[in-house]
Every structure is written in structure tokens, then in C-alpha cells.
A and B are shown apart, each in its own frame.
Chain A
Amino acid sequence: MEPAIHLAPRAEHNGFASMLATLVRQNIDERPEKKQTLLKMRGRVALVVVDLDMTVTLHFEGGRLTVHDGVVGIPDLTIRADSEWHTQMSLVEIHGRTGLPDPRGEVMKSILTASRSGAIEMFGMWRSFPLALRLTQVLSVSA
């Protein structure tokens, strides 16, 4: 099955939504392992960009991703942070062998610190832990 990535109606006016759709599309085009990850993903992730007052919802349906403007449906996972942290989250180091976020990576360490301080808030993280890990994999630009 080939993944399909769409912007929902009205989401094309949300720059962050367009960026996320492009990012996932380009990541899976060049990295087969990210494509396999996307095929396994199911659920809704809301990303709230606090300083820009923007929200997008990523709706994963086993290879089909729809990026919506705003909160659409009931998110399984919600991440609230300033734009700088959302950018940093795409830079999380991925461990080469396991394909999982590398807790020893500099960016990962700074994100964990920001999560502890409340600069990044994650809701539903433990209930949707596999979704969160896979989200990191498909969004990460780490080589």
C-alpha cells in the first residue's frame, strides 16, 4: 500500500499544516523505514503552537494522513509548545539501529528538559506512547 498525504479543506491557509504535510511526504519519499512507520500509524495528534496561536491535527489512518487546520475530532495525543520547540522536535536524533529517538542526543535531552519544565506539554503521551514514538520517527529530519 502506498501512503497518501492530504491537506484537509482550509488547511492550505495554515502554513504549519502545509509544512508538516510536505515534511512527512519528503521524509517518506526518501526513507523507506519512515514509510513503513507511517503505514502502521493510527490516531489523531493535535499540535498546538502556543506563541503563534495555531493548531493542526494530524489524522493517521494506516498510511493515510490528513492534516487539518485546528482541532478536528478527539486527539489521542496533544502537544502544546512554542514554535521553536515544534521545530526542535523535528530535529530529534533517531538511533540508527532501533529507529527510536536517541535519549542521549542533544536535541532529545533539551526536549526532555523542556517537558519537565512545562515549556512542552504532552497530553495522552503514555496512553498513546507507540503513536508518539512513530510521530517522532516520521517527522524527524535526523539523518
Chain B
Amino acid sequence: MHDFPSDAWTQAFAAAVNDNEVYRTHGKAWTFGSVAMVVEADPSLGIDDAQGMILDVHEGSCRGAQYVTGMDAVQEAPFVIVAPYARWKQVIGGELDPIKAMMEGKLAMKKGHLPTMLRFVQSSRALVTSATAVPTKFRD
């Protein structure tokens, strides 16, 4: 089990992305750079600053992953998706579809080219839902 969010969880997430056949297939044409998923600060859970997981995804695989602190640290990623802890918990638990969540405003794309994200809607969904395969220990 890996604490969410943490460096160990981020590395396990990257491995899960690489094990995801759906992502490998639908993400094959993705050459648009890294995707950062950010957990908003929540001092009640011991998260004093935003925590980011930056996945270096390229042509259907994840070439590396970084766990970073603070919104400034994710600004180099071309795509940045931000949500509160509770929403990521629902996504990781498979209870919340990431695309529907964006439509409802539960996940916010703070940076990125939406037409590209939509063109790759299947791979975007597969990328995020790869997290459901990570054995996760939540803070609450």
C-alpha cells in the first residue's frame, strides 16, 4: 500500500500507466508533453501545500514521474489538472469518471489545450483511471 499522495504512490502510478493496455493503445499518438495531477492543499489532512504528480507521458507510455510540492513546481507541464483530495480519492476509487468530473467542475484543467485533451479523450480517461490499479492508503 502506498500513501496518497506521496513519491512512492506517484512511482506506482507511473508503473500502473505502463501496465495499462488501454492507455498504451489510445495514447500511442500522444506527443504533447507531461500531464500534472495536483492535489489541492488541505491542512486538515496534513497537506499544507499543493502536491503534484507529473507524468512524463509520450506515445502510450510513461517515461518517468515526479512528485513535487507547490503549484509553481507543476507549471512546466503543458497539462495541469487540479482537484481537492476528496475528488482524487473518488477517481482513484473508480467512483468518478475523470471526463464527467471535468464537465461537472470537480476536476479542473488549470492549464492545457482542451481540444488536444478531447481528441485524446480515451487515453486521457485511461491515464487517470490507471490510478485505480495502485494499492492506495488514504489519509482519511
Which residue numbers of A lie inside 8 Å of B, CB to CB? 13-16, 18-19, 22-23, 26-27, 30, 49, 51-52, 54, 83, 86-87, 90-91, 141-143
Contacts and interface: CB of A to CB of B under 8 A. Distances in A.
B118 A23 contact: yes
B104 A54 contact: yes
Contacts of B121: 87, 91
Nearest to A142: B119
A15 B108 contact: yes
Main secondary structure of the interface of A (DSSP, over half): helix
Interface in B89-115: 99-106, 108-109, 113-115
A54 B103 contact: yes
Given A22-B114, A23-B114, A26-B114, A91 B103 contact: no
Interface residues of B, number: 17
B100 A26 contact: no
23 contacts: A14-B105, A15-B101, A15-B102, A15-B103, A15-B105, A16-B105, A19-B102, A19-B103, A19-B109, A23-B115, A23-B118, A49-B103, A51-B100, A52-B100, A54-B104, A83-B99, A83-B100, A87-B103, A87-B121, A91-B118, A91-B119, A141-B119, A142-B119
Nearest to A30: B115
B108 A27 contact: no
Interface of B: 99-106, 108-109, 113-116, 118-119, 121
A26 B121 CA distance: 17
A23 B113 CA distance: 8
Nearest to A14: B105
A15 B106 contact: yes
B114 A52 contact: no
Contacts of A27: 115
B100 A19 contact: no
Contacts of B104: 15-16, 52, 54
Nearest to A17: B105
A143 B115 CA distance: 9
4 closest A-B pairs by CB: A15-B105, A141-B115, A16-B103, A141-B118
